[in-house]
Chains A and B, each alone.
Chain A
Amino acid sequence: MAHTFKGGVHPNYMKAPEIPMTVMTPPPQVVIPMIQHIGAPNKPLVQKGDYVTLGQKIGENPAPVSAPVHASVSGKVVAVEPRPHPLGDMILSVVIENDYQDTPCTDLPPLTEEQLKDSDSILQRIRDAGVVGMGGAMFPTAFKIRGGIGKVDKLIINGAECEPYLNGDHLTMLNYPEQLLKGIELVRIASCVDKAYYGIEKNKQDAIDLLNSLHPEKYGIEIVPEEIKYPQGAEKMQVKAVTGREVKPGGIPSGVGCNVVSTRTCYAVYQACYEGKPVIERIVTVGGSAMAKPTNILTRVGTPFEYIAEQCGGFVRTPRKIVLGGPMMGICATTLEAPNIKGTSGVLFFTEEEDRHVDEPNCIRCGKCITVCPMNLEPVFMYMYYSKGDFENMAKYHITDCFECGSCAFNCPARMPLTHAFKTAKLMFQAKAAKEKAKAEAEAARKEAKS
């Protein structure tokens, strides 16, 4: 049986896993934003003038949906102030001047043998180390796993890496296979399940062979080779490809007994538990036509993009776009001052060469969006009702089920801004729902006051 899903596209993959991973010299200054996860923002634990060690916790929030952040270099805190965030806006950040000593912090000792077999201790460590979904979603991992205990019978590890350009997961598999398997085992133990399925696209055959040669069954892991197709790495598509189950509209994978954790997250879990190392670095693919060649580098979290670009050889052409993550779902940063964060899997500098923008696009009704939509939606009609502002019909055509994979817009010969429209529409729906909720609450309060 082929492990895949219906729909999807085949973009030009532009991958360069043959370029070995290089370790980047840390920058003279790192900027650590207090928001590097989905959930409540962290509060800084340090002040200007404090000395921090490598891996010291510098921001946290007690809320369950949050993840602390740690210093990615040792040195002096020179500012605690709002700085440009890669995802837009100015966000409170801790700026640390690097003393290049990498003085280690000993707050998180490696877990003991017993702790490594205990779900609660692993989860506590995952949280303390600030592990979030490092595929890009940045959802706090401990909360995700804890929420699935008892409901989840199949743990799925996402090794599809279906986004073009990105090589981070592939290189993690090749460089740290044993550590990775141990990390997956930890996530499996934490999730209280017997078996983890590791879905890997077949374009990483060398990694599949290498992992299989290390007896993954010893760790309770089965490698599942998958068809090469975007968006294979989307949660719902992974669940479908590996188990055949379909997540209900509006639902999450744990609703059908599955949890999906990314490759890089599992490796971060390994580092947190075996090495006592919080999330302070990650592998980033730097590429795009503004760069002379693609680079795979291990960077410290908080390295400004400008420094990353310089270290990777500088621009050969003036970039027009800074794309964070892969080009299919990645979003644009607006300034080179912003730093990379835990979820930044790629930094792509695009020029006119990648631009396919058309000023006045005309839909030709070819229906090519319908054939590729992995959610079985009908983008051509969703877009039509969107441009009319017809909310009722947008809802009828399930616009809120779109998870913005971009397949329809990628495949659109007329260059309609489909995904852009759907993302905007979803925000409009959210705003509308919030408004209605506020109105209902006000109404209820008024009634209460009257009675």
Chain B
Amino acid sequence: MAATQKERIVFDVAYQPQVRTNIDTPRLMSSVILALMPAVAVSVWQFGWRSLLMIAISVGSAVFFEWAYRKLLKKSATIGDCSAALTGLLLALTMPSSAPLWLPVIGTFFGIVVVKQIYGGIGKNFLNPALAARAFLLASYALYLGQFAVPSSLSGTVDGVSMATPLSFLYGGEALPGYFTLKTMFLGMRPGALGEVSALALLIGGLYLIIRKVISWRIPVSFLGTVALLTLIFGHEGYGHVDFMLYNLCSGGLLLAAIFMATDYATSPVTLNGQLLYGFGCGVLTVLIRYFGGYPEGVTYAILLMNLCTWAIDKGFRRHQFGVSKEDIEAEKAAKKAAKEAAK
């Protein structure tokens, strides 16, 4: 039959494996985007349709900058991996609804072009693009990022267009006004950046990501655990220790950062114990900045500082390969010691 025809087939050759999981980069990135949807919904509820407009502008400009940079430099197109869209979304979620609409455009330019693409694009940046962009905007346009609009759920209770966040009360040493209860803060009825207000929405997203194994539990748990433990121990005058800890966990951008920013693949450690240390470091720095720093909120700089340590952490927390027992490790250490002494 078609034997001659068959002989003409040139077969592909590849080393193993010949099959691969269907979970690829675009799918991982879009599941993070999906996990942020509850937070997006809360932002629309509390701050109106303007928040959606800001998110759209931020996502659109991030994708545009990534596309334009790769196109101009004749590199392969990467907007399909959804990571630029995610960066845009995350940046928008760290901004107050009252920020001008051009602000995210400047931010995404810095995040995508300077922080991410100049270092080689996805996976090669050493700072989280969204957080680095936020730090850049915080340094350049602090005014816009420091004013928070009154959320819709408090518009009857509070006069004016802007108001102070719970975190600024906590660190001003003032008592929290009566309309900030743990329940309202947990649900998201408080002023703040678009995506950070509802602890509940963020926890739902985080749980989804951990169950779907998109992120590991190590970084968020060690990060939040460290913050919880330190604020519980040190507390603050005028607050009960447990209350102070819970207020801390629910205020600022802590949950958004611990679940969605600190777990950024490219800028967090890949070694398992390294991830625990990284989360711990983020937690310690966050608390230190919250207690002693110039800004009320410390998570941005805490994570950026830990980003810089990622490489060293990964070097220091390597596992022993399969088959190396504890005795082997001790024997190796003893041999090294003996060699050192012999050299002396």
A332 to B9, CA, bound (A): 14
Tell whether, in the assembled complex, residue B20 and residue A410 are in contact, meaning their CB atoms are under 8 Å apart: yes
Partner of A398, one of B27, B266, B321: B321
Interface size on A, residues (CB 8 A): 69
- B81 cross-chain contacts in A, Cβ below 8 A: 362, 364
Interfacial residues of chain B within 1-43, with CB under 8 A of chain A in the complex: 3, 6-7, 9, 11-25, 27-28
* A114 adjacent to chain B (CB < 8 Å): no
**Interface of B (DSSP majority class):** loop
* B139 adjacent to chain A (CB < 8 Å): no
A404-B21 CB under 8 A given contacts A249-B323, A249-B324, A320-B11: no
Tell whether, in the assembled complex, residue A359 and residue B76 are in contact, meaning their CB atoms are under 8 Å apart: yes
A414-B322 CB under 8 A given contacts A321-B11, A328-B19, A336-B7: no
Tell whether, in the assembled complex, residue A413 and residue B323 are in contact, meaning their CB atoms are under 8 Å apart: no
* A316 adjacent to chain B (CB < 8 Å): no
Partner of A320, one of B3, B12, B325: B12
Top 6 nearest A-B pairs by Cβ distance? A367-B270, A406-B17, A420-B15, A356-B20, A327-B18, A327-B19
- A363 cross-chain contacts in B, Cβ below 8 A: 123
- A350 cross-chain contacts in B, Cβ below 8 A: 18
- B25 cross-chain contacts in A, Cβ below 8 A: 362, 364, 413-414
Q: Which residue of B lies closest to A375 (CB)?
A: B322
Given contacts A306-B3, A376-B319, 15 further A-B contacts (CB under 8 A): A12-B19, A246-B325, A322-B11, A365-B123, A367-B265, A376-B322, A377-B321, A378-B318, A409-B16, A410-B17, A413-B24, A414-B24, A417-B14, A419-B17, A420-B14
Q: Which residue of A lies closest to B22 (CB)?
A: A356
Contact with B along A150-167 (1 / 0, CB 8 A): 000000000000001000
Partner of B270, one of A378, A412, A423: A378
Tell whether, in the assembled complex, residue B11 and residue A411 are in contact, meaning their CB atoms are under 8 Å apart: no
Q: Which residue of A lies closest to B320 (CB)?
A: A376
Interface size on B, residues (CB 8 A): 46
Cβ distance B169 to chain A, nearest Cβ, rounded Å: 39
Tell whether, in the assembled complex, residue A365 and residue B266 are in contact, meaning their CB atoms are under 8 Å apart: yes
Tell whether, in the assembled complex, residue A354 and residue B266 are in contact, meaning their CB atoms are under 8 Å apart: no
* A257 adjacent to chain B (CB < 8 Å): no
- A323 cross-chain contacts in B, Cβ below 8 A: 18
Partner of B18, one of A240, A248, A348, A412: A348
Cβ distance B261 to chain A, nearest Cβ, rounded Å: 15
* B272 adjacent to chain A (CB < 8 Å): yes
A381 to B314, CA, bound (A): 10
**Interface of A (DSSP majority class):** loop
Interfacial residues of chain A within 247-267, with CB under 8 A of chain B in the complex: 247-249, 251
A321 to B19, CA, bound (A): 11
A362 to B26, CA, bound (A): 12
A419-B76 CB under 8 A given contacts A9-B21, A364-B265: no
Q: Which residue of A lies closest to B83 (CB)?
A: A364
A335-B11 CB under 8 A given contacts A378-B270, A413-B27: yes
- A375 cross-chain contacts in B, Cβ below 8 A: 321-323
A438 to B124, CA, bound (A): 40
* A371 adjacent to chain B (CB < 8 Å): yes
- A240 cross-chain contacts in B, Cβ below 8 A: 322
- B27 cross-chain contacts in A, Cβ below 8 A: 413
- B270 cross-chain contacts in A, Cβ below 8 A: 365-367, 370, 378, 380
Interfacial residues of chain A within 350-387, with CB under 8 A of chain B in the complex: 350, 354-357, 359-360, 362-367, 370-371, 374-378, 380-381
- B18 cross-chain contacts in A, Cβ below 8 A: 321, 323, 327-328, 330, 332, 348, 350, 354
* A319 adjacent to chain B (CB < 8 Å): yes
